[in-house]
Amino acid sequence: MQQVQDTPEEWRVVATTTPFTGNKTSVRTDDVVMPDGSVVRRDYQVHPGSVAVLALDEQDRVVVLRQYRHPVRQKLWEIPAGLLDVPGENPLHAAQRELYEEAHVKAEDWRVLADVYTTPGGCDEAVRIFLARDLAEAEGERFEVAEEEADMELARVPLADLVRKVLAGELHNNCLVVGVLSLAAARAGEGLDALRPAEAPWPARPFES
């Protein structure tokens, strides 16, 4: 029986250019050799990677926020998330920072919920989604927000309601959808204690402890 598991592989690139470099991401064009020997051009976004946090409180509610996303012209309900701004940054530390900055919340129990590539056909972004439990309000003043985050709304929504809304097509944010359904699947399977530890290796974005 064939093993169903993603594996590393890198086809030969005979030329590469970077036609656009932005503040956080860039666009790369590679000429890639196909198995039949032909060469095709592939354009894709180069991304530093991200983390997201499904924070679950003692009442089985998930911390969510509503934020304007200009590319899709919608306000989306999401879970706290952010970029890995520093190469080699520990994703757990980044997730703890994002939970504090966006929700002013801290958590005692952290697990890895899922690792995903958001759009592997056109972007190399990798996201690690954490499960955070044993929540408490963070100490000190709230993080000062700006731009889209200045209009952000916060809420705590029962997990069961989020699952229903995802399946009804009412919620669309990638990290929220994957996180909510992964949590529901973990509970129905081996349980949350079987999830990977927060410092589990992440080959897509290697990090220092």
User: In this structure, are strands 61-69 and 153-158 parallel, antiparallel, or unpaired?
Assistant: antiparallel
What backbone torsions phi and psi does residue 169 show, to the nearest 5 degrees? 80, 25
Measuring CA to CA, which residue among 118, 1, 148 is closest to residue 52? 118
The one-letter amino acid at 162? L
User: Which candidate in 89, 98, 149, 190 is catalytic?
Assistant: 149
Q: Is 149 a catalytic residue?
A: yes
* Rounded CA separation 145/149 (Å): 6
CA distance 73 to 66: 13
Strands 126-137 and 61-69: unpaired
Q: Which residues belong to the active site?
A: 149
